[in-house]
Structure 1
Amino acid sequence: MTAPNWLKPLAWAALIWNLLGVIAFVMQMMISPEMLSKLPAEQQVAYANTPIWSTIAFAVAVFAGSLGCVFLLAKKALAYMLFIASLIAIIIQQYYNFMVIDSIALFGSNALLMPTLVIIAAIILLLVSRRGKTERWLS
């Protein structure tokens, strides 16, 4: 079956979204002690004590999501597996953010907006790629 007309614009938009996540990851990895010192004390502690498993989850989430979008653009079914990996990593990362360090207490209620959008986008991409496999417009 031929892929629907909306697939390519969706995949491009999703790729841009995921690349913004890659940029956020790189910025977090490159935060300097000077930049860190300008944050409130509680946020400094949270950044300084981020466990490696949370950092790895962040990396997997954004890189698997970006690569999944590339495969979606190429109409390859491997996108589905990459979106599964990305969503699992997002859930692990958000577990740390909300259950371990309590992001809402650190950053306020606005801390809910971006993670909610990230989860919704990841679920949509997973569902689209699953449909693509089922309807055979991803090979």
Structure 2
Amino acid sequence: MNDKNLNAVHWSFWINAVALLLWNVMGGINFMMQMNPEMLANYPEAARSLVEARPLWATVAFAIAVFAGAIGCLLLLLKKSVAYYVFIASLLGVLVTNIYTFGITSSTEIWVGSLMSLVVATFLIWYSKRAKRLGWIK
């Protein structure tokens, strides 16, 4: 077996990278909707209250979480190992956002969404590190 076959990117890499890019793009769309007062008016009262009361630091962390996640996925698709560090920034954004969210709500629906974000951000760090180790990204 030659080195080219050894470092061949598995087909699942592309599916994972695209699916996770879509996840993060949806997070970006959610962020943009929350920043638009007309869109926010359509949110359920409980969710709208959380967004309207959210401090600036939590809003900035949310933006970092979703946009760093999307940029990291684009870098993954470009097979750039710097994606790993961008995913770390995304995870930090998720953690800071969750500190706020978990501190102010007991809503199971909101907790589940926040925990999903934490799982995905953690997975992206692991996956990009694995892709680097396997030679899929440089």
One-letter amino acid of the structure 1 residue matched with residue 128 of structure 2:
S
Give the alignment partner of residue 53 of structure 2, picking from 34, 49, 57: 49
Distance 1:89 1:28 in 2: 16
- 1:11-47 Cα offsets, whole Å, 9 max, x none, are 000011100000000001012498179725x953x43
Distance 1:135 1:84 in 2: 19
Relative to structure 1, is the Cα distance of residues 13 and 34 closer, same or farther in structure 2, using a 3 angstrom cutoff? closer
Number of residue pairs aligned between Structure 1 and Structure 2: 132
Distance 1:78 1:68 in 2: 8
One-letter amino acid of the structure 2 residue matched with residue 3 of structure 1:
V
The unaligned stretches of length 5 or more in structure 2 are 1-6
Identity %: 33
Distance 2:69 2:39 in 1: 29
2:63 maps to 59
2:31 is the counterpart of 1:25: yes
2:102 is the counterpart of 1:94: no
Distance 1:6 1:37 in 2: 36
TM-score, length-scaled by structure 1: 0.85
1:45-124 to 2 correspondences below 5 Å: 46-99=50-103, 101=104, 103-104=105-106, 108-124=107-123
The unaligned stretches of length 5 or more in structure 1 are none
Relative to structure 1, is the Cα distance of residues 16 and 37 closer, same or farther in structure 2, using a 3 angstrom cutoff? closer
- 1:28-69 Cα offsets, whole Å, 9 max, x none, are 1012498179725x953x433311110000000000000000
Distance 1:23 1:119 in 2: 18
